[in-house]
Structure 1
Amino acid sequence: MQQNPWPQGFHILDSTEVQPAFDIMFPFAWDELACRRVGAGAKPIVHLWRHPGAMVVGLRDRRLPNAEDAMTRLRLAGLETVVRNSGGAAVPLDLGVVNLSIILPNPDNNIHFREDFKIMVELIRESLAPWTEMGAVADGEISGAYCPGDYDLSIGGRKFCGIAQRRQTKAYVVQAFIVVEASGEERAALARRFYDEAAGGTNAAGYPLVRPGSMASLQELAGVPSAEAFAGSVRRVLEAKSGVIVDFETAGVTREEVSEMSHKLRQRYDK
């Protein structure tokens, strides 16, 4: 992996403050297309976004016996529900959750999964510096949390962030959800209800057993006042690393391309 993952003048696309109605697959399709562009030589980019209400389901979750019924129930309750093309398991999203994608080149197709995750870990730690010491943020799987993984981020044993990855031939995306506002426990309860229904009362292997007391928000854990405040801190950290704020047009991926990719991803993964 390259020595400096933050080359001069990399791009920052921040859509956290713009909340038009959009398909929850849109940011994942955008990441897919941006990753292709970065692999072809475009500047690396960091994408920040939020969504007003969705459940993003993992590929293994979709294979649970009653997954389709559970996803339909969520949609009827007003939550957009999709299967993403990166790793990880089910994650509830709302405006109190900030999502980050770091899209970097990998010209030699090196496989350094752990090092790639650490780039995201350090970015989040630095972004939390106004509210907590970097050493207070631990990485490592939190038992009982939703979307568990080796690079769960937690404070005091309660998880606030999960990290996943999507790799292409010449570039890769590291994605994170960061629970900033309100109750982490309420979101965990939503994920638990999804699994209770999707598993159909069976002991199907491979799905997270979400338990009370495992999740919390940064508001609860560190006094972070809002999703906007956290996103602002991320931007400042990235700009200090020579990042340049861009808009959708400058980022070079058209909305028509994203709509077409969204359709393709649904056809490929949501079945």
Structure 2
Amino acid sequence: MALLQQERPVVLLWSSETPSLVLPATLMRSPQVQDVAVQAKRAGIPVVTRRSGGGIVPQGPGTLNLALVFPAPPGFQLEDGYRLICHSLAEALTRFDIRSTTGAREHSFCDGSWNVLVQGRKLAGTAQRWRSTGAGPIVLAHAAILVSRPDAAHWTMMEQLHRAAFPGSAGLRAGAHVALTEVMGARTRPEGFPGALARAAEDRLSSLMSRESMAA
């Protein structure tokens, strides 16, 4: 959110040291969600709110986050932002001989049309937030990538929060997800992936900003 105030292109990769669950602030208005959040805190898994919408997302050392912040070029649409971040991730994955697609995946956390899927299962979720300025909108495009699966306690609390927040909806299933460590294979070290992802994101963002400069 702080980067949105800077109004300049930025690529940020980060992970949380503390396992937690992140959900939209609006969901915390529900007494049922508040009750589960208290249980999660007692179990050592804090629940943190965010300003964007969607569902519950796991954070911690096993989740790698990619954030792209940039001024939106003229005519830039929401779908363009999703393509930018999903294609950045897809390009980085191809460097490890991993093919990906985008689409919804039933029973996945924070499901949406712009999930990044590998082998038909969710590897990453994406989201956007736009801020209006006098010079035009500033875009924050974000991806949360599962490097390793949440542990059982983390997953149980995420499932309980999901059911409290979205009563009557399809529940979450661990089998709907896949982690980077699972698809890379035994001979490939995932430590090299963040660098490949940063380069892919920087290249695509630089290309976008260059086209904007040429058009101006």
Deviations, residues 13-33 of structure 1 (Å, cap 9, x unaligned): xxxxxxxxxxxxxxxxxxx22
TM-score between both structures, scaled by the size of structure 1: 0.65
Q: 1:124 aligns with which of 62, 68, 89?
A: 89
Which position in structure 2 is the counterpart of 1:229? 192
Which position in structure 2 is the counterpart of 1:78? 44
In 2, Cα distance between equivalents of 1:105 and 1:159: 29
In 2, Cα distance between equivalents of 1:192 and 1:241: 35
In 2, Cα distance between equivalents of 1:240 and 1:167: 22
In 1, Cα distance between equivalents of 2:79 and 2:108: 20
Cα pair distance change 1:111/1:75, threshold 3 Å: farther
**Offset, 1:103:** 0.5
Which position in structure 2 is the counterpart of 1:33? 2
In 1, Cα distance between equivalents of 2:151 and 2:83: 26
Give 1:99-114 correspondences, 5 Å limit: 99-106=65-72, 112-114=77-79
Give 1:82-231 correspondences, 5 Å limit: 82-106=48-72, 112-133=77-98, 136-169=99-132, 170-181=137-148, 183=149, 186=152, 188-196=155-163, 198-199=164-165, 204=167, 209-223=171-185, 225-226=189-190, 228-231=191-194
**Offset, 1:126:** 1.0
In 2, Cα distance between equivalents of 1:242 and 1:85: 24
Cα pair distance change 1:184/1:79, threshold 3 Å: closer
Unaligned runs of 5+ in 1: 1-31, 244-271
TM-score between both structures, scaled by the size of structure 2: 0.80
Cα pair distance change 1:242/1:61, threshold 3 Å: closer
**Offset, 1:111:** 6.3
Partner SS for 1:154 = strand
Letter in 1 for 2:10: I
Please tell me the root mean square deviation across aligned C-alpha atoms, in Å: 2.5
Cα pair distance change 1:149/1:240, threshold 3 Å: closer
Deviations, residues 97-141 of structure 1 (Å, cap 9, x unaligned): 100111010265x561111100000100111122224xx201000
Deviations, residues 67-119 of structure 1 (Å, cap 9, x unaligned): 111112222222232111123210111112100111010265x5611111000
Give 1:12-27 correspondences, 5 Å limit: none
Partner SS for 1:166 = strand
Which position in structure 2 is the counterpart of 1:56? 22
Cα contact 2:4–2:69 (8 A) shared by 1: yes
Cα pair distance change 1:241/1:141, threshold 3 Å: closer
Letter in 1 for 2:195: G
In 2, Cα distance between equivalents of 1:159 and 1:125: 13
Cα pair distance change 1:139/1:188, threshold 3 Å: farther
Which position in structure 2 is the counterpart of 1:68? 34
